[in-house]
Amino acid sequence: MTSDKTKIRNAATVIVIRNKHDNPSVLMGQRGVNAAFMPSKFVFPGGAVDDQDLSIDLTKSLNEVCKKRLLKENENGPWNALVAAAIRELFEETGQIIGVEQEWPKPPSSWIDFAKTGYVPDASKMFFVFRAITPPGRPRRFDARFFLIQAEELQTNLDDFSMASDELSHLQWIPLKDTKNFDLPFITQVVLAETTGNLMNSGPPAQVPFFQNTTEESLIYYINEDENQLNH
């Protein structure tokens, strides 16, 4: 029995910003030419939620405002699995670590390599900043949550990608002012514009844009901790 590839899957993405006060840059890589989803595009690290992400006990939790926003219209899984997936995908695709030093005796199988580094996942410096559902008609569809973190919060050498998998090539820190010169998906351009506009924020954004592409009409909501508002 094969799975339905067009079914909307929960996913998580990490936007890592470096030197936000002086020529800020963002960590991106290029998807393979034969990838089923966004081939050859430059993207943020990220991917689908794994079943084992559901069991991850975050050592330090997400900001309470962000947690409440993640719970909005999130009937498909616990908020912590989304955060855990973001941390795991960043590590798998770039070798960069969001965590704190601590022994992890019995990690799930998809987290063994992460645990071998001597760290456990830590969400305390991450902020939920964007949500988007892949439009209908695409070969893969995801309900993606985008998380922002500053590069100085990572536990690894920012220029060392030696532990990265081969899922993304040409991993690099791209100056925000130069991202327009790269082949980016439309939604990535939108997220970058939103991120740039809120770059100097030290906490969660005032509201979280949500591209709800569940029908032929794309609706844009703004998620607050108390309510969802349709942007007219």
Position 184 in a domain: no
Q: Which helix (H) or strand (E) holds 129?
A: strand 127-133
* Cβ atoms within 10 Å, residue 186: 11
In a domain, residue 36? The reply is yes
Residue 181 maps to a domain: no
2 within a domain of the structure (yes/no):
no
Residue 18 pLDDT > 90? yes
State the pLDDT at residue 39: 64
SS3 state of residue 8: strand
User: What's the confidence (pLDDT) of residue 231?
Assistant: 44
- The structural domain count of the chain equals 1
Question: Does residue 16 have a pLDDT over 70?
Answer: yes
Q: For residue 90, what is the domain's CATH number?
A: 3.90.79.10
Q: Is pLDDT larger for residue 36 or for residue 39?
A: 39
Question: Does the residue 182 lie in any domain?
Answer: no
- Residue 150's pLDDT band (cuts 50, 70, 90): very high
Residue 82 domain-assigned?
yes
Q: Are 37 and 180 in contact (CB under 8 A)?
A: no
How much is the pLDDT for 224? 74
User: Picking from 3-12, 49-58, 73-82, 216-225, which range would have the lowest pLDDT averaged per residue?
Assistant: 216-225
Q: Determine the number of helices (DSSP H) and then strands (DSSP E) in the chain.
A: 4, 12
Mean pLDDT along residues 162-185:
94
Intra-chain end-to-end CA distance of the chain, in Å: 43
pTM for this predicted structure: 0.90
Residue from 54, 21, 6 nearest 152 by CA: 21
State the pLDDT at residue 40.
73
User: What SS3 state is found at 93?
Assistant: helix
pLDDT of residue 68: 87
Of 30-39, 50-59, 122-131, where does mean pLDDT reach its minimum?
30-39
pLDDT of 228 strictly over 50: no
pLDDT at 229: 45
Q: Which two tokens stand for residue 207?
A: 């509201």
What pLDDT, on a 0 to 100 scale, did the predictor assign at position 73? 63
The H-assigned helical ranges of the chain are: 64-71, 79-94, 112-116, 186-197
Q: How far apart are CA 232 and CA 224, in angstroms?
A: 16
Let me know if residue 183 belongs to a domain: no
Question: By residue range, what is the domain housing residue 76?
Answer: 8-176+189-230
Q: Which residue has the higher pLDDT, 33 or 144?
A: 144
Q: Averaged over 173-186, what is the pLDDT?
A: 95
Amino acid at 179: T
Span 71-89, pLDDT tens digits: 876 655 578 999 999 999 9
**Confidence (pLDDT) at 75:** 56
Q: Average of pLDDT values for 173-182?
A: 96
What is the rounded average pLDDT of the residues 93-111?
96
Q: In angstroms, rounded to a whole number, what is the distance separating the alpha carbons of residues 186 and 106? A: 40
Query: What is the DSSP-derived secondary structure letter of residue 52?
Result: G
Phi-psi region of 77 (alpha: psi -120 to 50; beta: other; left: phi over 0): left
User: 227: Cβ–Cβ under 8 A, 6 or more apart, which residues?
Assistant: none
Higher pLDDT, 230 or 100: 100
In a domain, 67, yes or no: yes
